[in-house]
Structure formats: structure tokens, C-alpha cells
Structure 1
Amino acid sequence: MQYHQLIRHNGIEPLFHAIEMSVIAACNHLPFHLHAEGLRGTGKTTALRAAHALLPPIERIKGCIYNCDPKNPHCPQHKNLTQEEIATIGTEFVPRPFLEISHSAKIASVVGSIDLSKLVNSENSTAALLPGTIPQAHRGIIFVDEINRLADTSPELADILLDVMGTKPGRIQIEEAGLPIVEMPVEVSIWAASNPDEEPGRLADVRRQLSDRFDLTIPVKQPSDVTSVQRILNQTSPDTELFQTFSIPKLDNISFRDDLQQILATIYVQFNLESIRSIQAIETASRLEAAISQRNTAQIDDIIKAILPTLSHRVSMQTIEQILHYLDLIKSHQEIPFSLSAGVIAEHTPKPTIKKFSLSRLQQFLKQLIKLLPKFPSMSALTANTKRNEDPSHHQPQLKTSTKEDIISPPKIATPLSELKEADWLQKPEEK
């Protein structure tokens, strides 16, 4: 089924939105990594694979297996060529790469290895490198299904993804015995899907460092209305006729004001975010939100919309709620339109109240308790009352208090607590 024919029910709509954001970023030479998390059978993988149709073609140096951009060549063969030399070779348009990495993949097939076809060529035997999945996906997308399982069972592949996603663009290093080490930048967006309810669990719990590399983590849920399920069964989408060609706006035309950057810096410091990638993801997502809305300037509402998908896999929901409350305060405090001091954050951000112990509060409590004591019957009376309640023949139980008990006074008459001063409540051992 084609991308525009998929049913955008309320449980999966955020994923479609995130996919289109990542496509716009990739087409603007900015990798934007996306992770879809949800139960099996919710359509995560189907939507991610179908999004291949959104990717426009790329122009590359003719025949370059590394997909070198004619304006910015990066591979060992073309990176030192002049524009005149590149013009002599020529250029060509090819489909934008959309490749997958499976759990059974080997490091050599993912990174690169010796090109055996050239090595065993009887006419012109030569040692050359054959790029793997990642170098071949330059300027495109790599999809990893069930990435939580891959991180658990193939830690060496997870380490490679960490290097690729660590910077933008990432870097790849190809090593083979007898050949010089090849290191080159790679501009690729990583898309992934996982089922957090199955072994080994959520990616953030399996490999937190890898989870942090994703700019967005989108929860995908089942459809919650009958109409959407019927449309899925009939494979009919109400949006098919309304779908138009997906346009790619230029991110360079989207400005992000200094005051908005100050807000992100304040969030990072005041809410103790661990990773600087978190606010970088918020900024990029905000600009992408503005681009999708066909605006030239990001707004605070774009930041608010980007908070949950960029931070849900990085911080607790309580912290997210506090950040959103802080952003709401910025919108409502017109005298401080875009930034709040640390003192204002501390004053207005909801925090759990902790009641501290104080002697005066304890004294008040005991005074009230002393006043109530005469109203309570003795333990013997309560026991008698309980026995009578258990006996069906006693419908009107009566409490009786013994008056024949001998009471021995202490050597020194105790002072009632209500008459003590607060300073006399506590005594040092030597004062007794």
C-alpha cells in the first residue's frame, strides 16, 4: 500500500507527522533520527517503509557508489576533485537511498569490506573497498526494525550506530587488513521501530546511550474508533483524493530567534537535562514544525509541540510536565515575554510539598489529642463493648468503667503538656 493510502488514525498520526519532519530534514542535508515505539501490529514498520515514496531523487557524481554530492564530494575517489573535473565526469539523478540493517547483518556488510570482485579479476586484480550499507545510504535513510533486540543481541552493530548518530553528519571508518583506513563523513537519518512490551524491553532500558541519539521517540498506539478499523480492513483512506505532492521547504529560510535559544538554554540548565542533544533536537524539531506550517520563523508554540517527542525517552514525565508549565508561564507573563529567571521558575514550577517537623506543630497536635482523650472509653470498656456486639442477645450494649482500681501517683507530679512552654519540651540527659 502506498504511503498516502495508509490510515492516519489517532494512534499513529504522530508518526506520520514525525516521518515528514525527518524527510524534510534529510532533504536539507540534516540527519534527523526517528524511533517509533509501540505494540506489535500497530503499523509502525508499514508506515516507515512506505515513507520511501516521499523521498525525492538525489543528484550525484556519475557512477559514485558513495552518492557523492557534486557540490560537496566526500568519498576517497572524488573529494579532492575540482568542479571542472567533476563536470567532466558528469552527474546523474538516482533514487534517494532507503536501506535496512537486519539483526543478522555482519559488520563488514554494514560498514564495508574488500571488494572481492575486483580482487579476483584475472585481467586487472586490485585491492579495493566495497562500501557497506551505511556508506551507500549517504544522503538517505537507514531503517532498523526491532532496534531494541539489535541493541541487545548485536552490541557491535549498536556501537557502529552510535558513531554514525553521534554527530551530524556522522562518521564511518572502514578498516581492512592490507588497505589504508578509510574514514569519511556520512549524512544519513536512522529510522527505527521497536516493541517495548517484548524482550528485551524498551530501548532506553537496553541501551540508554543509543536511545539518546534519536531526536524523536514517537509512541504508536492502536486505533481507538470503529471507523478507523473498518477503513484499515477495507484498505481505503479518506485522504487519498486530497493527497498532494509532498513539498520540501528550505530549512535555511526558517529562523530561530535568540530569545528562543535562551529559553532552550534555560530549560537545559534549570531542569538538569543530561544530554545537550535534547535541546538541539527541540530546536530542530521546532524549525521543522514551522516549515510544515509554512512559516519562516519558529515560535514558542513550536517548542511546546516538540517537547514530548524529543524528551519522552530522555527524562521523566514529571520533568516534562514542569517544562511545559514553564513554557506556559512564558506565554502568560507578558512582562517577561520569552525568558524567565531561575527564581521565577522555582517560584512557579509545581513541586511536591514536603512538610517539615516543628515543635510548635507537634505541640498543637498533642493539645488537640489531650482534649479528645476524655471522650475515648478505656481499653477494658472497648473490649467489653466488642464482646457484647458479637453476642446477638445484647442488642443494647452498655459500657462499664471500673472504679475500684488503685492508682499510684508518681514521685513527682507531672506537668500537663498543655502547660509546658515550647522550650521545655526537649531536655538534655543531664537536665533530667
Structure 2
Amino acid sequence: MKRSVFPFTALVGQEKMKTALLLNAVDPAIGGVLISGQKGTGKSTAVRALAHILPQIDVVQGCPYNCDPADERMMCPSCRERFRPGESLPTVSRPMPLVELPLSATEDRVIGTLHVEQILATGERRFEPGLLAAANRGILYVDEVNLLDDHLVDILLDAAASGVNLVEREGISFVHPARFMLVGTMNPEEGELRPQFLDRFGLSLTVAGESEAMQRRRVVSRRIAFDLDPEGFVAGYADDEELLTALVDRARARLPQVMVSDEMLGRAVALAQEVKAQGHRADIGIVKTARALAAFLEEDEVRFDHIRDAARFVLPHRITTVALATAEQIEEKLEEALRRVADDRETADDVQPSTGQIEEWEDLPMQVPGSMAASNVGMLFTFLAEKKKSFSTRMN
């Protein structure tokens, strides 16, 4: 049965959440995103909608691991054995997979099952792929990740960081590619995620319901319209979805060419040091996220605006100098660090976050990219608004 999915571009508000998802879509090596917030704020809807605007991928036909037919390094053992002698692997194009991991999943269901008895009896290795195999080159979504067993969370984060899934049983091992974008959502009222797991997510953010009456009316009206006529509603946003898909695809292609100067590397390191982030994941995450943002904005070099916006996603869950801090206290601490690291030419007003509501991307006024950098997501959504206006002009 075909189920219609609420369009990503029809989501009202929640620009910070949508930005984090889009940046991970451009560069999954960022390390995924953890979205924390109250129930009913569109977290699951946004994740499922994201899969439908991502470009399709070419895979080896019949391969349970969605192997890339052009990349031998990330092929499963079976595809590699066929590829090396020069066999032409049959290829099909399919949507990027979205795999949802249920809280009741067992370890074997997640990592797969290695049938040791059959190997010992016949000498033939038999591996039954799990959810990590199905999620390769796609999205692995864990709702209520804070309620998932700790050892399963550890498995997911290890696979997301290494890009492979290693299964070992009785001295016999099997390894296959497991590169995916990890997205976790949680309601903090139901418990927190352990700090060692929290640090492994590349980006984190907190969402809340819309407080402005007009925005809440938009949420209600669009949801009712979708429920009454899903296909018609989705068709109404087809052009917007197509545009966003093209922009993500172009950003992925541009990403390897985006340059990061020594000065910007120094700024990223300085920000991580200012908040006393442990280890080096924060520094690396800021640079990767800034590069993805620059690629999306069709720029060739990372600027401090990109570094600053990236830090607002990378650092909040890594600030260790404020014990038992509220979200507001953490944000204040981060803004202090941003002010200290900012250029002398930037005023305090440039660095302070916007207190106003950010309109949805199709309604944003046309502004110069970067003029809303202080809003954390203003650059990206202003850029999208300009692209939409240009796209609409060409269509008309």
C-alpha cells in the first residue's frame, strides 16, 4: 500500500531542524543529528519527509547492501568479488533508503545474523543482513533514541563513525559497508541520553512548538489539507520538492571543491577551546558542517559566517563548563564564545541571535545571503527563497 509522505517544503517553521537535516544530507560524514523536543513538534514528520527530497542512488541490482557499482572500496564482499575480474555489475536507480529502527529490535536484527552452524557444516559463509545493511547509503532513523538499549546505541554510533558493520561469532567474522545518516529524535521528558552517546552525534538541536498564532494556524491548515487529499497536497509542492532535490545534489557535487583556509580552521579550533569541548570531535564537526553549508550556498570557500552557524549546531551538546545548565544558559554560553572569537569588525549585534520568528522558506523576503546569519539558519533559507523565486520565474 502506497503511503503519501508530508512534503519537506510544506513543513511550517522549524527551520533550525530542517537546516541540520539538509546539511547532513549534503555531507553524511558530519555524523548525524540528534533532535530533542516536545511531542508533536514535527520531528518524525521532518525525517520521513527528508528521504523524499534526497537524490536517487545507483545500486547494484539485487544487492542487500545497496552497494555503489562504481566504488569498489565500499562494496560488500560479494559485489567486490564480481567487480574485480571486470564483470559489469547490473545497476538500478532507486530512492535513498529510510530505515526506521524500532525500540524492540534485537542486536541480531540490527547488525545481522552470522549462521555459524552452517559455516562449520558446509564451509560456506552465510550472513543474514540486518537493519544496518538496509540503511547503507541511506538514512537510519531512531525515534525515542534515549529509550533504546545502551549497547544498541553504541553499535549504531560505532557503525556510523566507521562506515562498516563488523559481525563476529565464534572466531568467524563478516564485514559489510554501513554508511548512513543517523538521525535520532527524543523527548527529554522521558529521559536523557547518556553523555558518551550524546557526544557521538555530529549535530544537536532542541525544537519546540510554534508560539506565534499565525504559524500555528498554518500548521493546522496544512495538516488538515494533507489528511483530506494527500496526493493533491503533495502534488502542490512537487516543484518545491524538485528544486530542493536539485540543490542538495548540486551541493554534494560542489562539496569536495570547498576550501577551508588556515584562518577558518583556527576559528573553529578557537570556538571549541572557548567552550572547553573534550576531544576533537567538536573542531572537526564545525569544519565539516561549515563546508556543507558553504557548498549548499554555492560558495567556494568557508567564511566565518559559516563557521559561526555551524558552531551553533555542533557545540551545544558539548559545552562542559555549565553544570546542569538549561538550554537558555547553554545558548548564552555559546554566544559569549562566539563574540570572543568573532572578527573585530563584527559588532555585538551581528553575533547576537535573532529574537524574531523566522518565516518559512517560501515566504522569506529577498535578502543578501548572510544578512540573517545571526538567526542561525537565515543564510540557508534566504538562499532557498531566492532560488525558488528564480525557479518560478523560469517556469512562468
CA displacement 1:198-248 (0-9 Å, x = unmatched): 222x32xxx111111111112111111222222222216999487252222
* CA distance in 2 between partners of 1:242 and 1:55 (Å): 14
Which structure is richer in relative contact order (CA contacts within 8 A, separation 6 or more)? 2
- Say which SS state the counterpart of residue 17 (structure 2) adopts: helix
- Say which SS state the counterpart of residue 255 (structure 1) adopts: coil
1:292 positional shift: 2.1
- Say which SS state the counterpart of residue 219 (structure 1) adopts: strand
Matched, 1:171 2:185: no
Counterpart for residue 42 of structure 2: 43
1:133 positional shift: 0.4
Matched to 1:20, the amino acid is L
- Say which SS state the counterpart of residue 264 (structure 1) adopts: helix
Residue 303 of structure 2: which of 293, 299, 305 is its match?
A: 299
Counterpart for residue 22 of structure 1: 24
Counterpart for residue 215 of structure 1: 202
Matched, 1:104 2:104: yes
Check 1:256–1:80 CA distance in 2 against 1; reply closer, same or farther (3 A cut).
farther
Counterpart for residue 128 of structure 2: 130
Matched to 2:23, the amino acid is M
- Say which SS state the counterpart of residue 307 (structure 2) adopts: helix
* CA distance in 2 between partners of 1:304 and 1:211 (Å): 21
Pairing of 1:5-404 with structure 2 (within 5 A): 6-9=10-13, 12-26=14-28, 30=29, 32-73=31-72, 74-82=75-83, 85-87=86-88, 89-114=89-114, 128-150=126-148, 154-165=149-160, 167=161, 169-177=162-170, 180-196=172-188, 198-200=189-191, 202-203=192-193, 207-235=194-222, 240=237, 243-245=240-242, 246-247=245-246, 248=249, 249=251, 250=253, 251-269=255-273, 271-315=275-319, 316=322, 317=330, 319-332=333-346
Check 1:31–1:264 CA distance in 2 against 1; reply closer, same or farther (3 A cut).
closer
- Say which SS state the counterpart of residue 143 (structure 1) adopts: strand
1:78 positional shift: 2.4
* CA distance in 1 between partners of 2:219 and 2:6 (Å): 13
* CA distance in 2 between partners of 1:31 and 1:111 (Å): 22
Matched to 2:145, the amino acid is I
Structure 1 unaligned regions, length at least 5: 334-432
1:267 positional shift: 3.2
Check 1:209–1:170 CA distance in 2 against 1; reply closer, same or farther (3 A cut).
farther
Rg larger for: 1
1:171 positional shift: 2.8
Matched to 1:230, the amino acid is R
1:275 positional shift: 2.7
Counterpart for residue 377 of structure 1: none
| Percentage of pairs with the same residue | 26
Check 1:84–1:183 CA distance in 2 against 1; reply closer, same or farther (3 A cut).
closer
* CA distance in 1 between partners of 2:190 and 2:159 (Å): 25
CA displacement 1:341-380 (0-9 Å, x = unmatched): xxxxxxxxxxxxxxxxxxxxxxxxxxxxxxxxxxxxxxxx
* CA distance in 2 between partners of 1:331 and 1:279 (Å): 23
For this pair of structures, how many residues does the alignment match? 312
1:41 positional shift: 0.9
CA displacement 1:16-71 (0-9 Å, x = unmatched): 11111111224xxx353011111111111111112110122211222211121122
CA displacement 1:380-416 (0-9 Å, x = unmatched): xxxxxxxxxxxxxxxxxxxxxxxxxxxxxxxxxxxxx
CA displacement 1:126-165 (0-9 Å, x = unmatched): 6510111012211111000011111xxx122122123123
CA contact (8 A) 2:138 2:180 kept: yes
Q: Which one has a larger percent helix, Structure 1 or Structure 2?
A: 2
Check 1:46–1:77 CA distance in 2 against 1; reply closer, same or farther (3 A cut).
same
* CA distance in 2 between partners of 1:244 and 1:306 (Å): 24
CA contact (8 A) 2:108 2:130 kept: yes
* CA distance in 2 between partners of 1:229 and 1:298 (Å): 36
* CA distance in 2 between partners of 1:288 and 1:241 (Å): 25
Structure 2 unaligned regions, length at least 5: 227-232, 323-329, 348-396
- Say which SS state the counterpart of residue 286 (structure 1) adopts: helix
CA contact (8 A) 2:7 2:241 kept: no
1:81 positional shift: 4.6
> Taking structure 2 as the reference length, what is the TM-score of the superposition?
0.71
